[in-house]
Amino acid sequence: MASKVRLYVDHPLGEEQSVPLTREQAHYLFGVMRLTEGAVLSLINGKDGEWDASVEKASKKGGILLCQSQTRALQIPPDLWLMFAPIRKERTAFIVEKAVEMGAARVMPVQTDYTQSANRIRQDKLQAHAVEAAEQCGGTYIPPVDNLARLDRVLADWPQDRQLMFCDEVLIGDPVGLPALDGPWAILIGPEGGCSPAERDRLRSLPFAHPVSLGPRILRADTAAVAALTVWQQALGDWTRHE
CATH for the stretch 6-72: 2.40.240.20
> What is the identity of the amino acid at 138?
G
pLDDT, average across residues 85-110 = 95
Among the listed residues 122, 131, 70, 65, the one whose alpha carbon sits nearest the alpha carbon of residue 92: 122
Q: What are phi and psi of 188, to 5 degrees?
A: -120, 120
The order of strands in the sheet holding 6-8 is 6-8, 40-44, 50-58, 63-72, 18-21
pLDDT at position 192? 84
Q: What letters, b where the CB count within 10 A reaches 16 and e where it falls short, cover 175-191?
A: ebebeeeeebbbbbbbb
State the CATH architecture for 80-236.
3-Layer(aba) Sandwich (3.40)
C-alpha–C-alpha distance, residues 5 and 144, integer Å = 23
pLDDT at position 165? 95
Highest-scoring range by mean pLDDT, 93-107, 162-176, 212-226 = 93-107
Axis-axis angle for helices 221-236, 89-101 (nearest 10): 10
CATH 2.40.240.20 domain position(s) in the chain: 6-72
C-alpha–C-alpha distance, residues 62 and 30, integer Å = 9
pLDDT, average across residues 156-170 = 92
pTM, to two decimals = 0.90
CATH 3.40.1280.10 domain position(s) in the chain: 80-236
